[in-house]
Amino acid sequence: MTARTAGRCARIGESATVAINDRVKALRAGGVDILDVGGGDPDFGTAEHVSGEAIAALHAGFTHYTPSRGVPELLRAISNKLRRDNGITADPGRNVIVTPSSKHALFIALMAILDPGDELLIPTPSWVSYQSMAHLAAARPVPVELRADDGFALSYDRLLAHTTARTKAIVINTPNNPTGHVLRPDEADAIAAIASERDLVIVTDEIYEKIIYRGGAHISMAAWPGCADRTLTVNGFSKAYAMPGWRLGYVAGPADIIAAMLAVHQHTVACAGSFVQRGGVAALNGPQDAVQHMVSEYSARADLVVRGLNELPGVTCHAPDGTFYAFADIRGTGVGDSARFAGSLLERAAVAVTPGSAFGPGGKGYVRLSFATSVDVLRQVLVRMADFLRGG
Q: What residues does each domain of the chain span?
A: 7-45+289-389, 52-285
Position 18 scores a pLDDT of 72
Distance CA 56, CA 48 (A): 12
State residue 125's pLDDT score: 96
Which residues, listed in sequence order, are joined to residue 167 by a DSSP beta bridge?
Answer: 119
Rounded CA-CA distance 202/194 in Å is 10
State how far the Cα of 127 lies from the Cα of 177, in Å rounded to an integer.
Answer: 6
Per-residue model confidence (pLDDT) at position 220: 98
Q: What is the structure's pLDDT at 389? A: 95
Task: Determine the pLDDT at residue 325.
Answer: 98
Using only C-alpha atoms, the chain has a radius of gyration, in whole angstroms, of 21
Q: Which of 334, 380, 342, 381 is nearest to 359 (CA)?
A: 342
Beta bridge partners of residue 172, listed in sequence order: 204
pTM (2 d.p.): 0.95
Read off the amino acid at residue 204.
T
| pLDDT value for 148 | 87
Phi, psi of 142 (to 5 degrees): -120, 105
Q: How far apart are CA 331 and CA 314, in angstroms?
A: 7
Edge-to-edge, what's the strand order for the sheet holding 140-145?
Answer: 96-99, 249-252, 231-236, 201-205, 167-173, 119-124, 140-145
CA 227 to CA 247: how far, in whole Å? Answer: 28
Taking alpha carbons only, the member of 294, 283, 237 closest to residue 52 is: 283
* CATH number of the structural domain 52-285: 3.40.640.10
Identify the segments of the chain with pLDDT beneath 50. Answer: none
Q: Residue 243's closest CA among 47, 18, 80?
A: 47
Specify the pLDDT at position 20: 76
Longest dimension (CA), the chain: 60
- How far apart, in whole angstroms, are the C-alpha atoms of residue 351 and residue 34? 6
Residue type, 153: A
Q: Which alpha helices (H) appear in 246-288, and where do they start and end? A: 255-266, 274-285
Give the closest residue to 171 by CA, choosing from 90, 260, 252, 233: 233
Q: What is the pLDDT of residue 1?
A: 57
Separation CA 208–CA 351 (nearest Å): 25
Long-range contacts of 61-65 (CB under 8 A, 24+ apart): 62/274, 62/275, 62/278, 63/274, 63/275, 64/274, 65/270, 65/271, 65/274
CATH no. for 7-45+289-389: 3.90.1150.10
Bridge pairing between strands 351-352 and 366-370: unpaired
Please state, in angstroms and rounded to a whole number, the distance separating the CA atoms of residues 71 and 388.
51
Task: Name residue 236's beta-bridge partners.
Answer: 249
Residue type, 23: R
